[in-house]
């Protein structure tokens, strides 16, 4: 059975980062991630939210094609569903621009 979890709430992202690895619930073949961005500041600010996968919770890789949740340059809410590709997953955010800042919340159904 899928479980809803809060990944973070009202987090202020200013640089590229990756969260801690999480195990996929046994028997699940899909997961959904929701991102809600409520504020964006900075010149040419952009944030790409995506998933990375691991078989050992140490070495991480992007899927091919990448599991991109969304790319934001303004406030937006987006939900994506992905096939499970490995026993561990993590959320990665690639931030670019001049003094970028994104206020966002993320949730998962795994």
Q: Nearest to residue 78, comparing CAs of 106, 42, 46, 45?
A: 106
Spatial contact of 109 and 2, defined as CB atoms under 8 Å apart:
yes
How buried is residue 69: exposed, middle or buried, by Cβ count under 10 Å (0-12/13-18/19+)? buried
Q: What is the pLDDT of residue 1?
A: 67
**How far is 69 from 32, CA to CA, in rounded Å?**
9
CATH number at residue 90: 2.60.120.680
Q: Whole domain around residue 17: which residue ranges?
A: 4-109
What's the pLDDT at 94?
97
Instruction: For the chain of 110 residues, list the mean pLDDT of each consecutive stretch of 10.
Output: 87 95 88 97 98 97 96 97 96 98 95
**Which positions ≥6 away from 41 have C-beta within 8 Å?**
99, 100, 101
Contact of 63 with 55, CB cutoff 8 Å: no
Domains identified in the chain, total number: 1
pTM: 0.92
């Amino acid at each position: 059975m899928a479980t809803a979890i809060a990944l973070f709430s009202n987090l202020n992202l200013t640089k590229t980062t990756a969260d801690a690895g999480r195990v996929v619930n046994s028997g699940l073949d899909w997961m959904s991630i929701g991102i809600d961005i409520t504020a964006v500041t900075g010149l040419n600010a952009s944030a790409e939210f995506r998933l990375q996968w691991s078989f050992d919770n140490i070495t991480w890789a992007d899927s091919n094609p990448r599991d991109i949740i969304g790319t934001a340059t303004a406030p937006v809410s987006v939900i994506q569903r992905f096939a499970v590709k490995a026993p561990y997953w993590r959320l990665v955010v690639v931030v670019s621009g001049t003094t970028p800042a994104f206020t966002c919340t993320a949730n998962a159904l795994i």
